A = this chain, B = another copy of it.
């Protein structure tokens, strides 16, 4: 019973269907009929004109976006525990040609205008110091927290005031929208670029990079090719994204994962280290408790224990978490 990561989950049957349906000859690269439908599909989804490109990974989506929004001599504000800082092997430094990530603290990996202001106000506006050019948020965050529309709006306002372009890392954007119950656009309003996660949510090997300024897409198409991310049989990437997007599967999958997380969260009570808003549950768990759960065949990652806790763990649900397994895990936690 695996609660390691949504990365490890299976591919959704409808994605398989779409992949098979894409296996007819068509133009190479992104010249095919499926790739051509992405802009329209995402424009419909967000209710505004936008452009969308498939890429193989969230790291590539994030980095391509940041490189388009921040010059090599600039800086990108993000949370100290943002995935782009912690878990992307330095990819933003590679794609931006050396721009600097400027780290900000905040509860649950969320940033606030106040924290951002505190970080950049002391920067002297001279050439000796790197100047901030962009802001990157993660929605939902690395701790499974979700920015409410009002929070997004105030961060977008802050970004605009300070001349910062806004990027949203939406590896779990679907989970955020499912939690908020709002229009997708409300969950990323003000963003110039959104990395729209698909792989964790039933896809196989395609993510979408959504550009709310279509001119950015024209630029990033060159950068995508230059990064070796323009696949020759791109129709298979487009097919996955469309299968998730065009008939609401992305949201249904995220709702399922979130619901499973809520069931487990309800069993965790005081153990919860963060409110559970998406599909990740961070719990205080002593080493012997972790062993006990593993002894019952539950698999999950240990997590660094916060001060005052003997241990911690991360539990992740996914679109196809088995209801039976989820129930057993909830019961097992209650029984600790």
A88's partner among B19, B75, B128 (CB-CB below 8 A) is B128
State the CA gap A28–B226 with chains docked (Å). 26
Which residues of chain B come closer than 8 Å to A327, judged between CB atoms? Answer: none
Which residues of chain B come closer than 8 Å to A64, judged between CB atoms? Answer: 228
Contact in complex: B93, A225 (CB < 8 Å): no
A127's partner among B5, B122, B221, B236 (CB-CB below 8 A) is B221
Total count of chain A residues near the partner, CB < 8 A: 73
The yes or no answer to A138 lying at the interface (CB within 8 A) is: no
Which residues of chain B come closer than 8 Å to A58, judged between CB atoms? Answer: 232
Which residues of chain B come closer than 8 Å to A19, judged between CB atoms? Answer: 19, 204
A222's partner among B9, B89, B101 (CB-CB below 8 A) is B89
Residues A223 and B10 in contact in the complex (CB < 8 Å), given A57-B232, A129-B89: no
State the CA gap A5–B200 with chains docked (Å). 32
Contact in complex: B24, A4 (CB < 8 Å): no
State the CA gap A91–B128 with chains docked (Å). 9
Interface members, chain A 24-70 (any B CB < 8 Å): 24-29, 55-64
9 inter-chain pairs at a CB distance below 8 angstroms, sorted by A residue, are A60-B227, A72-B97, A73-B89, A87-B128, A90-B99, A127-B222, A204-B236, A205-B205, A228-B229
Contact in complex: A7, B23 (CB < 8 Å): no
State the CA gap A229–B222 with chains docked (Å). 17
Interface members, chain A 126-165 (any B CB < 8 Å): 127-131
State the CA gap A9–B26 with chains docked (Å). 8
Residues of A at the B interface (CB closer than 8 Å) are: 2, 4-5, 7-11, 16, 19-20, 23-29, 55-64, 72-75, 86-91, 93-101, 122, 127-131, 199-200, 204-205, 221-233, 236-237, 304
**Distance between A262 CB and nearest chain B CB, rounded to angstroms:** 22
Residues A227 and B91 in contact in the complex (CB < 8 Å), given A24-B10, A200-B232, A304-B122: yes
A10's partner among B25, B87, B204 (CB-CB below 8 A) is B25
Which residues of chain B come closer than 8 Å to A88, judged between CB atoms? Answer: 128, 225-226, 228
Question: Copies per complex?
Answer: 4
**Distance between A22 CB and nearest chain B CB, rounded to angstroms:** 9
Contact in complex: B93, A100 (CB < 8 Å): yes
Which residues of chain B come closer than 8 Å to A29, judged between CB atoms? Answer: 7, 128
Which residues of chain B come closer than 8 Å to A55, judged between CB atoms? Answer: 228
Contact in complex: B56, A28 (CB < 8 Å): no
Contact in complex: B130, A56 (CB < 8 Å): no
Which residues of chain B come closer than 8 Å to A130, judged between CB atoms? Answer: 89-90
Which residues of chain B come closer than 8 Å to A8, judged between CB atoms? Answer: 25-28, 233
A204's partner among B94, B96, B128, B233 (CB-CB below 8 A) is B233
State the CA gap A10–B86 with chains docked (Å). 38
**Distance between A125 CB and nearest chain B CB, rounded to angstroms:** 11
Given A4-B27, A60-B229, A88-B226, 8 new contacts (CB under 8 A): A5-B28, A73-B90, A88-B225, A88-B228, A91-B226, A94-B97, A122-B304, A205-B205
